[in-house]
Structure 1
């Protein structure tokens, strides 16, 4: 679905729902997950529909995930750090963001 345009320089590893994902240091968590084929970042609070990034600039909140134990983080705005733990988020997380 998504692919990187330049040769891969994957020298960092993040863990998404227990799965190790090689990525580039400094790219956004959302970009790393999309390049790895992840197609569901969170679910909606009503109905449980899967969501993934839409705008990639921090406007839509569809890319909310839990990062290193902190819920409601916008994956498109957080740069990758080696060893980061990312979990998909069910519903609204801690702060009730829709």
Structure 2
């Protein structure tokens, strides 16, 4: 991240700053979080939005923050969908915020 022009953040941490720092990767870019953060907190503490909508050109930032609304889905580096509001961030975790195209097997 450019220290002169940090990215806009949706969340700003005001407390619990004594927890151990961890690093997660968001779309190939290093971001910092604290041990015990959910992916949603880690992502929105580093970016202005969570992901782009798969149905329109709008951005999404989570809605209910408790696992009920389906708005906070992201993917890990293997393509597995994760609900960011209830998935703990782990040191070294790599997250993709945009849907990856599915490659269908070609039938011969």
User: What is aligned with 1:19?
Assistant: 29
- List aligned pairs for 1:69-80, cutoff 5 A: 69-80=78-89
Distance in 1, Cα, partners of 2:49 & 2:61: 5
Point out 4+ residue stretches in structure 1 off by more than 4 angstroms.
none
Note the aligned Cα RMSD (angstroms).
2.1
- TM-score, normalization: structure 2? 0.72
How far residue 31 of structure 1 moved from its aligned partner, in angstroms, is 0.5
- TM-score, normalization: structure 1? 0.78
- Give the 3-state SS of the residue equivalent to 1:12 in structure 2: strand
Distance in 2, Cα, partners of 1:68 & 1:8: 29
In structure 2, stretches of 5+ residues that fail to align are 1-9, 103-108
How far residue 48 of structure 1 moved from its aligned partner, in angstroms, is 3.3
Q: Which structure has the greater CA radius of gyration?
A: 2
